[in-house]
Structure 1
Amino acid sequence: MGHREQLMTAAKRCLEERGYARTTSRDIAAAAGAPLGTINYHYGSKEALLNQALLESLRQWGDRALDSSDEPDATTTPGERIVAMWARMIDSQLTERQLMVASVEAMAQAERSPEIRRQLADALEWSRSSLAADLHGLDDIEPSEETRAVGSVHSALVAGLTQQWLVDPERAPSAREVAIGLRAIARDLEGDA
């Protein structure tokens, strides 16, 4: 494994162990067993490396949350698939807490860094399409207004649930409660239509 890959692996580990805000270039270089200057050589800056490491980790986390291989069979209804995905996502709040903390820290950094903001915005846009496609079968190649709206609602729920599970895990909603709430909201919206 070359320095580039070692740095990426080390950055992911530092994100888990130290968080986004507390990870230094020296921490990453030491964890990678690489000279300090290799970070700038391969990634341009510590922030660029951490951002890429965080985004890769979040995509992997999203893939695991969307993985439906543990569902019984193809007769699973869309509603059951959605509740199962929310259950996996909520379970991951416990098993991958440090990744969730690092993502919140990165969001705060985006206020002062146009590069971080752009990278996170691109990742959010990608996740909107992916969520709509994976959970609802909507087109993610040529997304419609509906595709973007559905993905945006799921994305907002992920962000909101993450905050609730980080701050108050004992009272944060379960996947079942999220489904109950969404059904109630949908009924009210249908009544207005």
Structure 2
Amino acid sequence: MGNREDLLAGAITCLEEKGWARSTVREIAAAAGVSHAAIGYHFGSREALLTAALIQAIDEWGTETGNALAALGAVGSYEAFWDETVRSYTTHRPMWRATIDALLQAEHNPALRTQLSDGQRQGREGIAAQLLGIDESAVEEKDARTIGAVQSALISGVLMQHLLDPDTAPTGAEVVAGLRALAALTAPHPADDRSPTPSPPTRPADG
């Protein structure tokens, strides 16, 4: 690998082992087996390198999940997607923990926030493409802002539950069952065609 690829691999290792805040330039360079100067040359800053590494790790997770679903063939379904996602909360726990860490850091780092926002937009398109079974370049804006954005929010919310209390966090089947129940709540109620019962005529008072 070249220095750039070595740095990305080293940064991913540090993110998984130490998290965002504690991954120093010295430790990343040591994990990559390159000099400190290579970080500035290839990425400009520690934050830019860690962001690129985090996005690459998430992309790799997406590819892994897509391949797992493709292997299921006709059995593949939205529930299967969630089964794979929930499984990844355990197998890729360090990566997901680093994602939360990065989001907290972004609150006080405008440049990092911009970089993560760009990654989030790309992630919405990737998720929508995966669920729709189409190429990412064919995803329409409305699908990215509905299917992609909502699914991204669901992944983040269920992730938080698994990080905090995996024993009681929902399974893939429970997530799907919950969504169906919520969909029923959002369905419009049928119109009531019955005419209102007329009020009885008022009897004139005796004069």
Moved over 4 A (4+): 137-140
Return 5+ residue gaps in structure 1 as ranges.
Answer: none
Is the CA contact (8 Å cut-off) linking 1:20 and 1:106 kept in structure 2? Answer: yes
Please give the residue correspondences for 1:119-158 in structure 2 after superposition, counting only pairs within 5 Å: 119-137=115-133, 141=138, 143-158=140-155
Distance 2:124 2:26 in 1: 35
> Structure 1 residues 146-155 or 165-174, which shifts more?
146-155
Structure having the higher Rg: 2
2:169 aligned residue: 172
> Structure 1 residues 150-159 or 30-39, which shifts more?
30-39
RMSD: 1.9
Q: 1:45 to 1:114 in 2, by over 3 A?
A: same
> Structure 1 residues 144-153 or 18-27, which shifts more?
144-153
- After superposition, the C-alpha distances for 1:113-172 in whole angstroms (9 at most, x for unaligned) are 222112211222122222222213478535143552111110001100111111110110
Per the normalisation by structure 2, the TM-score is 0.84
What is the number of equivalent residue pairs in this alignment? 188
Aligned partner letter, 1:69: A
Distance 2:150 2:9 in 1: 32
2:100 aligned residue: 104
Return 5+ residue gaps in structure 2 as ranges.
Answer: 191-207
- The share of aligned pairs that are identical, in percent, is 40
Distance 1:85 1:96 in 2: 16
Distance 1:144 1:39 in 2: 35
2:17 aligned residue: 17
Distance 2:109 2:144 in 1: 29
1:70 aligned residue: 71
Per the normalisation by structure 1, the TM-score is 0.89
